[in-house]
Each structure stands twice: as structure tokens, then as C-alpha cells.
A and B are shown apart, each in its own frame.
Chain A
């Protein structure tokens, strides 16, 4: 079969750069491939909390954790363009059939791109959401970050078997059919009388819940 170029998706690439920038600010880089996908997944399921459009509305429930092919392609292209750099490349100790790479944002090349992206009003809101999420994500121990994503309410929904699709916003409504969003909203019920939780607090509480579950 003759190779054809990847279908480039600027929407995905700009979100990827934003994801990497947020991780950079929170000090979570260089980030391993699995953790990057875990972070991107959490950003997707929690995006309705910020009324931000999710990059993808569904994911294949796989034993190895969440993974997005679209994001992986754009990651490759961003590396090729010098926007993202690889810090280390070695065989994955957890899976002998895979390579384990860690990534960081190439500030010099990515900064002008990022400035352009964040100058758009809706994308500025995305950036603030991702920053909140990245700081919460940074609290989880490095070896437990992909485990934390698998503790997520949408991911661990027992009515969805491994090998099937978790749909949190593709064929279902982003808010109604998304267990993650519903759980995050539930925190308000446990707040003391007169205290109104804002979305950043709900997000932090939710990620801390995942952290507690992942840390055991």
C-alpha cells in the first residue's frame, strides 16, 4: 500500500499545542506519551464544565487507557515541524512492543503560534480551562497519571465493556450523556449552605477525586 500523508487537522494541532503549553506552565513536562493522552482525555470529558468544545466526543475503552489517534498524528506532525521536542526515546518498560517518548514544547517555535491561537476569544477560554486542569493534573504523582484517567467516571462506567466506545459527546449531548460532567456538577450538593462552587473549584475537586482513587 502506498503511503499517503496524514490528514492534517489544524483544530487538533492547535488544541495539542495548548495542551502542551498548559502542561509546560504547570511543570508537568517532559510528559510521557501515555500521560499526554490521559491529560487530553480528561480535557475532553471535563470540557463541558467550561463550556468548551471537546476535541473528541468519544474514545475506545482500552485496557491501556485512553488514546487518541487524531492527537497522535498531530503530535507527530508537530514534532516534525519543531513545535514539540522529544526529550527521551526508549523502549517502554511497561510494554515491550512500544516505544516510550517524553515530550516538551519547543517554546521558541511554539510561542508565536500559541499567541495567535490565544488571541481568539474562544481559544483564550480554552487556555484558561487547560491551565486549571494542568495544575490539578500536576498534583497527581507522575507514575499514577494514566491510572487517574482510568478512574474517571465516564471511563470506569461499568455498563461499557472494554473494547467498546465511550461516548461522552459525539452521538450524545455533551452534558446529559457525560458521567464525568455529571459527577463534577454533583459536588455542589455537598458544599456547605450558601457556598456556591465555581467551575474551577469543581474541576479541582474532581481531579483530586481521581488522584485519591489512583493513589489508592
Chain B
């Protein structure tokens, strides 16, 4: 298990942006468990304070964007003067210190804000303390205390899980980022090897492709040269023309393949919609049949089960299953006989016809409702089926087109081979020398592809281990997410483990990578709808799905308590959801010892009161870092300070929405 960072204390000294209370030149924040708020107006440095915490912990580096990369370094330096340029004195004497718990280790790090270098760092473990003097040692100690194998993974944990800042990378919407996080958290000992093999595959694949491109150019040049020598016949001109056509066909083939891949995703989604539609229709039919059976139990007295079933199907589906034709009038007649307590078979009055009370009105209403639901499901399934059939047809046409293009390309290649055989012998010898060069290059291409395939075989085993580890925690993660998401969203939301298939290089094999995705109901579509991209949800849904996913991973995959730091959680919310978000943060970390730090504007409404709803109004102030009192004032603050202070007091005293 991983030890996620739990931030316990922050002290900023001599930094002009935070002069502190009564100009003490010290801003100190001690964080216990539960929710904490950093409140301020625009420009007071809320986001900067969170960034400062992030850079204190990770140092002036970030990881490259998620995705398969070659053998280059994953760590990238960031501007270490970020804080220096924010103040007039270049932060010459400014420093910041942070205390962070990582399992049973406590790390204390102080950095100079002029260049983010380490001023002092110490890590205390039960077995003793270690002074850290260099950035290299600091990274090694932090990596070891976190329980991962490489510092890059620590930075990923910080940026993809613990800190949800302004310039955040999405996690739930990014399969590649999820792979890197699961690789770090679930198979920490294999993480570096997985990354190395990934780099090898990408590099070998890229080299093979570059050589192929060179090969292509040389082949073209050879053909052009051959054409230049041509005087009498048009053979070489035809070779060159055919080569050009092959080139165009290859481009067309790539375009169609890409289109097919996109359509495949749509088709898979639509197939799921159809299968779910069928299941829902089946459930609705069964439900209605069951109610009908109850309603008609007496009417069917003495009728054999098979015949009963035939009548039931006629009544529920309005189809005669004996001849498989619509049977609306027969069904209505049976229904009428049943309603009038006559024999459903012959229509004669029955012995129980006096007792019309045997079928309750409530039962009739339930049956009518169930029939209405059944009808809706039929219509939905019909629409889903039409979409699925359309995708299948579209795909079929594209596949036909692809076959045609490939066939044409093959024919052109065959034509070129035939034409070359007709060239004069001496020119064939000259071309033969060029062919030798081409053959050497081809061997090189094959060699790099073999290198890629070897790395692919090795990575396959490691990915299998990661897959098993993810499947082991799958249900835990899904359930925890669903439990948190249910009270927040108005829609039905479900996290689903859905490994994605991707190639590591542009060529080569496809592999399965662990990933989760979200299903959500929608007003525009029926049933659960898979949301694969952030564009498929609203801004607030996008943010809060990601926040809840991070909360879930921190809670389920960590060893101990942790911190979650969020910038601007109130920005995308309306009045109702502000209260729900407050509830979400109030519930998070309750009783676990973890904490959550939220930087937000001074906003009215339920967000702040609901976030601090577990604390009586008189102590809520102690859960707030009020930058109005501790940060260098903006012009707006200078002019309106009493008003802002009053607003903060009012917000903290306001009753939470229930």
C-alpha cells in the first residue's frame, strides 16, 4: 500500500504576498483532520498558496503529460522563479516550510522561495531521523516514504491525486493518466520496468517507421531516376505513376482505418444500448405478464399452463404467438371478457362473474402502469436497434471500401513488379544496386520491429500483473465511488471498470490497460450513457466526477490518512449544488484522520456552511485561513475590507442547507 501525503503544517516566512496577521511576516497554518478552507478575494493569493504547498513537496519539477513516450525523461523542470517574480524583492529572504506525514514517517521541508532550492529538510521515522541536504536525496527519501519505486510516480500522485489545482490534468477522463497512476499505486515495484519497456517499444517502433519512410523515399527516387533514363518506352513513366497512385491509396487506407476505429467505438456503445434495451424490455414484459397473471388468475382457472401462457403473451405483447401476427382485436376481446368476468375462452358468463371485486382496482392500475412502461421500453429498443443497425451498415460500407483500396494498391504493386521485369537488362543491373541498398534498409526495419516485439512480449507479462492487481481492487473502487457520487449528482452515476485497448507504439500489438469510466443517465438519452470524454458532461459534472474519483482512490488505495487539496471547488456550482458539494467535502475524511483543503472565494450560499456543518458556528473560524487578514491587500480589499470581513463572519455563522 501507498503512503499518500498528509499535510499537517505550513509556515511561510518573509514572503511579501503573505505579510501575516499584524504584519508579523509569518503565515502559519496548522491542519488537523477534516475540511479546511482558504478564503479570499480575487488576487489575494489563494491559488498561489496551494501551488506553494505543491512545489514545497515536489520541488520545481512536473511530469510530462500522460501518454506513451519514448526513452526521454518523464520529469520536466518548471520555472523556479515562479514565486520570486510575484514580489518586489525577488523573495530574497523568503522561505516556506511544510510538515507532511507519510505513513509513519514525518517529512519537514523548507525551501527558499527565491529559487525553490532546499533550505532544510529532515525526515523522522520510528527508527531515527535523517537530515537531507540535496534535491537528489530529498527525492529518494520522499519516494521511499511514499512506498513507490520512482520519484516520477510521487509527482504523479501529487499532481493527479492529491492536488486538484487550476492547471490540473484530468484523471477520470484520461485513460493514459489512469494507467500511469495505477501502475504507480498497484504495481510499484514494476512501475519503472513498465516505463522502460514502454520507452523501448516506442523508440524501436519510431525508428522502424522512420527507416520505412526513408525506404519509401529511396524507392521513389529510384523509380524517378529510372524514368529519367527512359527514352523509348513509357514503362518507367507507368512505374512512377503507379507508385504515386499507391502512395495516394496508402493515405486513403490510413484515413479509412482511422474512421473504422472511431466507428467501432460507437458501434460497441450502441450494441450495449441494444442489449440493455432488450434486458429492460424483457424485465418490463415479465413484470406485466406477472401482473396479468395475477389479474387473470381466476379467469384462467382450469386452463392448461401452455394455453394460459399463449393468452398471457397475447394480452401483454398484443401478438398471437401461435401464428406470430399482431392480435390487437383478439387481445382486446380477451381483456374485455376478463374485465366482465366472463370466460376468456368462450365468452360465456362464469360462476364467479357476480364477484367483480376479485380483481382490485389497485391491481388494474399497476397493470396499466406496467403496460405503459412496457410500451416505452419497446419504443426505446426500437430506436436503439435502428442506431445499431445504422452503425453496422456504415461499418460494412467502410470495410468494403477498405478492401477495395487495399486490392487496388495490391494490383498497382503487382503491375510495378511486372513492368520492372520488362526493363532492359543493363538498367536492371543499375536498379539492382539500388535494390541492394533498399534490401539493407528493409533488414534494418525488420530488426527494429523484432526489438519492439521482444519488448512487447516482456511488457505483456508485467501488464498482466497490473491487470490482476487492478481487478483485485475493482469492486472496492467502484463501490466507494458510487457511494460518494450518489448523493451529489441528480443523475444516476456509476463508475465501471472498463480496460482500454491501445497500442504503445503507432505500430505493433495492442494491449489492455486498466481504466475506469463513468456511466450516467441523461435527459437527452434513455438508460445509462457511457461518458468517455469531458465534453459529454457539464463543467461541474466534469470537475466533480474527477474530484470524487480522486477521493475514492486516495481512500481505497492508500495505507493511511492523506490530504486532498482543491482550488476553486465552488466555481462551477449553482446554488443547490453548492450545498451538495459542501456535504460531499464535510463527509470526506470524516473520522479517518485525513484532511481536505479548499481554496475558494468569499461566496454566499450553502457551500461554506455545509462544508463546515460538523463544527458549531463559533469554532468555524478556526477552520479557515482568512487571507483577508493575512495576505497583501488588493485595491478592492483596501477599499472594502470591513465589508468583506463582515461577509466572512456572516457566511461562517449561516446555517447549513439541509
Residues of chain A touching chain B, judged by Cβ–Cβ distance below 8 Å, are 1-6, 8, 58-60, 62, 67, 69, 72, 76-77, 79-82, 85-89, 91-92, 96-99, 101, 158-159, 161, 163-165, 170-171
Whether B478 lies near A161 (C-beta < 8 A) is yes
B320 within 8 A of A: yes
Give 19 new A-B contacts, CB below 8 A, not counting A62-B279, A80-B313.
Answer: A3-B318, A5-B319, A60-B276, A60-B279, A76-B317, A79-B313, A80-B322, A82-B322, A86-B308, A91-B293, A92-B290, A96-B290, A98-B286, A98-B290, A99-B289, A101-B309, A159-B497, A163-B496, A163-B528
Whether A3 lies near B293 (C-beta < 8 A) is no
The distance from the CB of B485 to the nearest CB of chain A, in whole angstroms, is: 15
Residue of B nearest to A7 (CB): B324
Assuming the contacts A80-B320, A159-B497, asked whether A88 and B305 have C-beta atoms less than 8 A apart, the reply is: yes
Query: Which residues of A are found within 8 Å of B278, using beta-carbon distances?
Result: 60, 69
Query: Which residues of B are found within 8 Å of A91, using beta-carbon distances?
Result: 290, 293-294
Assuming the contacts A60-B275, A164-B272, asked whether A159 and B309 have C-beta atoms less than 8 A apart, the reply is: no
- Complex: A69 Cα to B385 Cα, angstroms: 13
Residue from the list B264, B272, B497 in contact with A165, Cβ < 8 A: B272
- Complex: A97 Cα to B291 Cα, angstroms: 8
The distance from the CB of A102 to the nearest CB of chain B, in whole angstroms, is: 9
Residue from the list A5, A58, A86, A163 in contact with B271, Cβ < 8 A: A58
- Complex: A135 Cα to B201 Cα, angstroms: 50
Whether A165 lies near B313 (C-beta < 8 A) is no
- Complex: A79 Cα to B308 Cα, angstroms: 11
Residues of chain B touching chain A, judged by Cβ–Cβ distance below 8 Å, are 264, 268, 271-272, 275-276, 278-279, 281-283, 286-287, 289-290, 293-294, 304-306, 308-310, 312-313, 317-328, 375, 378-379, 467, 471, 474, 478, 494, 496-499, 512, 519, 528
Whether B309 lies near A79 (C-beta < 8 A) is yes
Whether A1 lies near B379 (C-beta < 8 A) is yes
- Complex: A1 Cα to B372 Cα, angstroms: 10
Assuming the contacts A88-B305, A164-B272, asked whether A6 and B324 have C-beta atoms less than 8 A apart, the reply is: yes
- Complex: A67 Cα to B268 Cα, angstroms: 19
Query: Which residues of B are found within 8 Å of A97, using beta-carbon distances?
Result: 283, 286-287, 290
Whether A171 lies near B268 (C-beta < 8 A) is yes
Residue of A nearest to B519 (CB): A163
Residue of A nearest to B323 (CB): A80
Whether A161 lies near B498 (C-beta < 8 A) is yes
Query: Which residues of B are found within 8 Å of A88, using beta-carbon distances?
Result: 305
Whether A69 lies near B310 (C-beta < 8 A) is no
Query: Which residues of B are found within 8 Å of A4, using beta-carbon distances?
Result: 319, 326
Whether B286 lies near A89 (C-beta < 8 A) is no
Residue from the list B286, B319, B499, B528 in contact with A99, Cβ < 8 A: B286
Assuming the contacts A60-B278, A80-B313, A89-B293, asked whether A159 and B287 have C-beta atoms less than 8 A apart, the reply is: no
Query: Which residues of B are found within 8 Å of A69, using beta-carbon distances?
Result: 278-279, 281-282
- Complex: A48 Cα to B560 Cα, angstroms: 49
The distance from the CB of A7 to the nearest CB of chain B, in whole angstroms, is: 9
Whether B317 lies near A3 (C-beta < 8 A) is yes
- Complex: A67 Cα to B283 Cα, angstroms: 11
Interface on chain A toward B: helix, strand, loop, or mixed SS?
A: loop
- Complex: A69 Cα to B317 Cα, angstroms: 14
Whether A72 lies near B467 (C-beta < 8 A) is no
**Residue of A3, A81, A170, A171 with highest tally of chain B CB at under 10 A:** A3
Query: Which residues of B are found within 8 Å of A77, using beta-carbon distances?
Result: 321, 324
- Complex: A5 Cα to B314 Cα, angstroms: 11
Assuming the contacts A62-B279, A101-B309, asked whether A161 and B319 have C-beta atoms less than 8 A apart, the reply is: no
Query: Which residues of A are found within 8 Å of B375, using beta-carbon distances?
Result: 1
The distance from the CB of A53 to the nearest CB of chain B, in whole angstroms, is: 19
Pick the 6 closest A-B CB pairs, nearest first: A80-B321, A3-B318, A80-B322, A60-B275, A69-B278, A158-B471
Q: List 12 A-B contacts (CB under 8 A).
A: A3-B327, A4-B319, A5-B319, A77-B321, A77-B324, A79-B313, A89-B308, A89-B309, A159-B497, A163-B496, A164-B272, A164-B498
Residue from the list B283, B321, B327 in contact with A76, Cβ < 8 A: B321
Residue of A nearest to B512 (CB): A159
- Complex: A158 Cα to B444 Cα, angstroms: 41
Whether A159 lies near B467 (C-beta < 8 A) is yes
Whether B286 lies near A67 (C-beta < 8 A) is no
Whether A79 lies near B287 (C-beta < 8 A) is no
Residue of A nearest to B328 (CB): A3
Residue of B nearest to A161 (CB): B496
- Complex: A86 Cα to B467 Cα, angstroms: 46
Whether B283 lies near A99 (C-beta < 8 A) is no
- Complex: A96 Cα to B286 Cα, angstroms: 10
Whether A86 lies near B378 (C-beta < 8 A) is no
Whether A99 lies near B324 (C-beta < 8 A) is no
Assuming the contacts A159-B497, A171-B268, asked whether A98 and B320 have C-beta atoms less than 8 A apart, the reply is: no
Whether B499 lies near A159 (C-beta < 8 A) is yes
Residue from the list A5, A62, A82, A158 in contact with B474, Cβ < 8 A: A158
- Complex: A62 Cα to B321 Cα, angstroms: 27
- Complex: A182 Cα to B499 Cα, angstroms: 20
Whether B290 lies near A99 (C-beta < 8 A) is yes
- Complex: A110 Cα to B312 Cα, angstroms: 23
The distance from the CB of A163 to the nearest CB of chain B, in whole angstroms, is: 7
Residue of B nearest to A88 (CB): B305
Residue of B nearest to A91 (CB): B290
The distance from the CB of B146 to the nearest CB of chain A, in whole angstroms, is: 28
The distance from the CB of A32 to the nearest CB of chain B, in whole angstroms, is: 13
The distance from the CB of A182 to the nearest CB of chain B, in whole angstroms, is: 14
The distance from the CB of A144 to the nearest CB of chain B, in whole angstroms, is: 22
Query: Which residues of A are found within 8 Å of B328, using beta-carbon distances?
Result: 2-3
Query: Which residues of B are found within 8 Å of A79, using beta-carbon distances?
Result: 306, 309-310, 313, 321
**Residue of B271, B279, B304, B324 with highest tally of chain A CB at under 10 A:** B324
- Complex: A58 Cα to B276 Cα, angstroms: 12
Assuming the contacts A67-B279, A161-B497, A163-B276, asked whether A86 and B306 have C-beta atoms less than 8 A apart, the reply is: yes
Whether B290 lies near A3 (C-beta < 8 A) is no
Query: Which residues of B are found within 8 Å of A99, using beta-carbon distances?
Result: 286, 289-290, 293, 312
- Complex: A88 Cα to B494 Cα, angstroms: 38
Whether A86 lies near B305 (C-beta < 8 A) is yes
Assuming the contacts A80-B324, A159-B467, asked whether A3 and B319 have C-beta atoms less than 8 A apart, the reply is: yes
- Complex: A101 Cα to B294 Cα, angstroms: 14
The distance from the CB of B326 to the nearest CB of chain A, in whole angstroms, is: 5
The distance from the CB of B478 to the nearest CB of chain A, in whole angstroms, is: 7
Query: Which residues of A are found within 8 Å of B276, using beta-carbon distances?
Result: 60, 163
- Complex: A69 Cα to B274 Cα, angstroms: 11
Query: Which residues of A are found within 8 Å of B286, using beta-carbon distances?
Result: 97-99
Assuming the contacts A72-B282, A164-B496, asked whether A85 and B319 have C-beta atoms less than 8 A apart, the reply is: no
Whether A5 lies near B325 (C-beta < 8 A) is yes
The distance from the CB of A64 to the nearest CB of chain B, in whole angstroms, is: 9
Whether A101 lies near B305 (C-beta < 8 A) is yes
The distance from the CB of A70 to the nearest CB of chain B, in whole angstroms, is: 9
The distance from the CB of B175 to the nearest CB of chain A, in whole angstroms, is: 14
Assuming the contacts A62-B279, A159-B497, A161-B478, asked whether A2 and B326 have C-beta atoms less than 8 A apart, the reply is: yes
Whether B313 lies near A76 (C-beta < 8 A) is yes
Residue of B nearest to A8 (CB): B324
Assuming the contacts A98-B286, A99-B293, asked whether A85 and B471 have C-beta atoms less than 8 A apart, the reply is: no
Query: Which residues of B are found within 8 Å of A62, using beta-carbon distances?
Result: 279
Residue of A nearest to B331 (CB): A3
